[in-house]
């Protein structure tokens, strides 16, 4: 009986630790084709009703594009506001923003 309780307690602790770490993440990928190697590096996090992420892509010829964005929600006003900025490999930038209400 003690072993079952200890196992259940350890499983609960691991689950709680995993949930507390789930609000931040990173991803790194590399792909190789006949043209060369491309990579992707991304990270993001969520806290206090807002989330953000950032992505960098590098092509096989060294060109880099970045995208970063965030969204914040206010349950009291029943709305979320977000924005995103994308910068292409030649320096051009696109900014987007918007708001959603429910």
The answer to whether residue 74 sits within a structural domain is: yes
pTM: 0.70
Residue, of 50 and 21, whose pLDDT is higher: 50
Which pair of tokens denotes residue 59? 């092509």
Which pair of tokens denotes residue 33? 């084709």
Number of domains in the chain: 1
The answer to whether residue 95 sits within a structural domain is: yes
Least confident of 17-31, 53-67, 88-102: 17-31
**Is residue 66 within 8 Å of 84, Cβ to Cβ?**
no
CA atoms of 45 and 52, how far apart (whole Å): 6
Range of the domain at 59: 25-101
Q: What's the mean pLDDT when you consider all of the chain? A: 84
Tens digits of residue pLDDT in 17-41:
344 455 899 999 999 999 999 999 9
The answer to whether residue 4 sits within a structural domain is: no
The answer to whether residue 5 sits within a structural domain is: no
Q: Does 45 have pLDDT greater than 50? A: yes
């Amino acid at each position: 009986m003690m072993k079952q309780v200890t196992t259940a307690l350890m499983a609960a602790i691991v689950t709680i630790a995993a949930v507390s770490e789930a609000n931040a993440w990173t991803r790194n990928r590399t792909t190789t084709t006949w043209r060369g190697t491309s990579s992707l590096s991304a990270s993001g996090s969520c806290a206090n009703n807002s989330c953000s992420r950032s992505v960098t892509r590098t092509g096989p010829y060294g060109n880099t594009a970045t995208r970063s964005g965030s969204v914040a929600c206010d349950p009291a006003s029943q709305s979320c506001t977000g924005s995103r900025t994308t910068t292409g490999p030649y320096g051009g930038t696109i900014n987007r923003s918007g708001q959603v209400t429910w």
